[in-house]
Amino acid sequence: MVEKMETIPAQDQYDLNDLHVGLEKVFQVSAYLNFPFTIEEVANYFLPRSNISAEGLHSLLASGKFADLPFEIRDGYLLTQATQSKEARSEREQMSADKLTSATNFASLLTKVVPFIRTVAVTGSVAYGSAAKWDDIDLFIVTERKRLWISAFLALILVRLDKWLGLRAPHLSLFCLSYVHDEQGFAKESNRNRSNPLFARELLKAKPVAGAEKYRKILEENVWVGDLYSSSYSAAIRRLQTNSNGLAFAERNRVRLFSFFVEWTEEFVYVLLSNYLRMRAYLTNLRLKSEGNNFRVFEPIMSESSCVYTSKFYRWLSAIWSE
């Protein structure tokens, strides 16, 4: 039997300078989060346009091409500091899995109560598997056109009821409506972020927990994401086509009767709820600053078709991957 030899990619096969720059960014983020990424994750999601495989990246790292970056390779992980370990990461992955299950159950109820929601996905640390116990469960929601604020209002009521009734453990009920658009608003947002590596990665790493078919269509409509992360984009499309695990729900008949009343209510709720959320964001930011959590301070960006909270941490990540 001929033993398969691990081959080191030729230097001219990849742009080593671009890879070095990308790995420097990975090192910064991994060190800040105290969370090690696997070599496969780095190759598939953190090195846009490189098209390097996990095996190819491992070979380059093992050959000493990037010896100035003090990664330690252990069991397929890239460790950036002594406190990182596979075991510590596994604990966060389990916490993230528990929060994802909680979000799945909540999304099932949410889509039954709110008929205008097209898809719900989990983003942020839970989607990446890096959530600590008291991290928020960030929800990405897309609604029908001109139904965002009615949907957000009903969703916030459900979030409050969930906490007040104690339907689940407190750390599993930290739902945050951090990224909500109607279909028109998300189309504008995705068009504005075309070729943005961080935005593309967030789309690919998000975990759909309701309306998987709609989420697949979102990815298919944003084919530019595949230009940045070709292998992970193709894998995500295949996964959503063949293994939705019942996450897709049948599109219900839209409410057509009293449509004028519904649209008037949407505008009314937009004025009241957006002002309330801005005031609440201001007070929350004061508390975060007093606690020294400056990276968690966020800016509420609201319009008739979008309700987005953008934290300083996200802006930092965006700046890193836009360089």
Model pLDDT, residue 92: 97
Q: Please give the Cα distance from 191 to 186 (Å, whole number).
A: 8
Please check the confidence at residue 261 and state whether its pLDDT lies above 90. no
Please check the confidence at residue 245 and state whether its pLDDT lies above 90. no
Q: Residue 3: pLDDT band by 50, 70, 90 thresholds?
A: very low
Q: Are 138 and 214 in contact (CB under 8 A)?
A: no
CATH number of 11-84: 1.10.10
Please check the confidence at residue 41 and state whether its pLDDT lies above 50. yes
Q: Residue 29: pLDDT band by 50, 70, 90 thresholds?
A: very high
Please check the confidence at residue 283 and state whether its pLDDT lies above 90. yes
Model pLDDT, residue 10: 55
Q: Where in the chain is the domain with CATH 3.30.460.10?
A: 89-322
Q: Which two tokens stand for residue 163?
A: 């906490």
Residue 116 CB partners (closer than 8 Å, separation 6+):
143, 144, 147, 150, 151, 255
Three-state DSSP state, 139: strand
Model pLDDT, residue 4: 42
Of the two residues 243 and 119, the one the predictor is more confident about is 119
CATH number of 89-322: 3.30.460.10
Model pLDDT, residue 243: 62
According to DSSP, residue 46 is labeled S
What's the pLDDT tens digit per position in 144-187? 999 999 999 999 999 999 999 998 999 999 999 999 999 999 99
A 10 A CB-CB count for 82 gives 7
- Specify the pTM: 0.90
Q: Where in the chain is the domain with CATH 1.10.10?
A: 11-84
